[in-house]
Amino acid sequence: MKKVLFTAMALTLSLSVMTSCKDAQSKTEEAAEEAAETLEDASEGIEKAAKDAADTMKKAGEDAKEMGEKALDSIEKAGKETMDAAKEATKKAIDSI
């Protein structure tokens, strides 16, 4: 009778362990699926951030180019005004002599 009781207890314990292992496997599979989805979402986020950064850099480059052109125009205008003023001053100096 003791052997039957021990055998029944051993079978019950075995079933319990098998059920636990099956649950653990199921939970592991779910966790792996969630991790894959999270990685996919993260990669999409990183890709979007990289595109945004590239767009921002492109716009900053265009803005810098425009500012450089404006600065060059201002320098050219200032140089022309200085030359005109120098010519005028020279003309006045010659006329006063």
Q: pLDDT digits over 66-76, tens only?
A: 999 999 999 99
Which pLDDT does position 75 carry in this prediction? Answer: 94
> Of the ranges 38-42, 81-85, 92-96, which one carries the lowest mean pLDDT score?
92-96
Encode 34-51: b = buried (16+ Cβ within 10 Å), e = exposed.
eeeeeeeeeeeeeeeeee
Count how many domains the chain has.
Answer: 1
* Separation of alpha carbons 35 and 24, rounded Å: 16
Encode 57-80: b = buried (16+ Cβ within 10 Å), e = exposed.
eeeeeeeeeeeeeeeeeeeeeeee
For residue 7, is it within any domain? Answer: no
Q: Averaged over 1-11, what is the pLDDT?
A: 70
Which pLDDT does position 54 carry in this prediction? Answer: 94
Q: How confident is the model at residue 61 (pLDDT cuts 50, 70, 90)?
A: very high
Length reported for the chain: 97
Q: Is the pLDDT of residue 64 over 70?
A: yes
For residue 75, is it within any domain? Answer: yes
For residue 17, is it within any domain? Answer: no
Q: pLDDT digits over 9-51, tens only?
A: 776 767 676 676 666 777 788 888 888 888 888 889 899 999 9
Q: Which domain holds residue 49?
A: 24-96
